[in-house]
Amino acid sequence: MKNVIIAIFLFVSIPIATKAQHSNHQLSISQLTGDFYIFTTYQVYKGNRFPSNGMYLVTQNGVVMIDTPWDSTQFQPLLDSIKLRHNQQVVMCIATHSHEDRTGGLEFYKEQGIKTYSTRKTDDLCKGRNERRASFILSGDTVFSIGEYSFQTFYGGEGHTPDNIVIWFSKEKVLYGGCLVKSTEAYDLGNLADANINAWPVTIRNIQHQFGVPEYVIPGHQSWKSKHSLDHTLKLLKQYEEKNLLNLRQAVNQ
């Protein structure tokens, strides 16, 4: 596993301590635990206003952002909110796959001097579609150390997309699953345009085997309050498979 040590020397002020939720109706920020925060933005999906989650971590050496807002009007308000709330700057951003709800702000944040990261697979997909790309490319699973925190990226296999990764904070047992992981609020698997349905269950089990039982699991969309989202994702995948088998049998019998 590749180790990346990020040494960022900044004049750091004491973070503003708060547990209140911030919201401007287009952007909401909620404390997950300790220095971990979930930010949520919205877009219209299947005719409904639909939430998309990202996460940021406040460290002594700056703020780590995971994924970008889905709503492009919230790229700067998120930075402003972080600065106001914690008196800190975002210093790095990692995209967990190539869809716009993860990568939409990469170009914007790059222009702000923020180091942006994605995997080689994600970069290839973005390049092929002439979409926003990160400045730095991860060649494989990578461990980052920044300030007092360390975390790792992990590719368990294909699922929601060919390139989806998760991010694991071992000490705090926080798993950021992104769109590979479905919220317990979800009734279906969502956008399957780039999905590998057959590989997806194996990928989820690889993650469970690798990291055990997390204390917090953050899905890409909807509620992140439950720690059972990995099992719920497997349940939805099983239901999808059973429905397809039923439809196939009915088609054969017609």
Active site residues: 97, 99, 101, 160, 191
Distance, CA of 101 to CA of 99 (rounded, Å): 6
| Burial of 15 per CB tally in 10 Å (0-12, 13-18, 19+) | middle
Alpha helix locations (H) across 134-228? 200-211
Six token digits for residue 172: 């705090």
The DSSP letter of residue 72 is G
The type of residue at 126 is C
Strand-by-strand arrangement of the 48-59 sheet? 22-23, 27-33, 36-45, 48-59, 62-66, 90-94, 115-119, 136-138
Distance, CA of 45 to CA of 140 (rounded, Å): 32
Distance, CA of 64 to CA of 69 (rounded, Å): 14
Alpha helix locations (H) across the chain? 75-86, 100-103, 106-111, 120-128, 200-211, 229-253
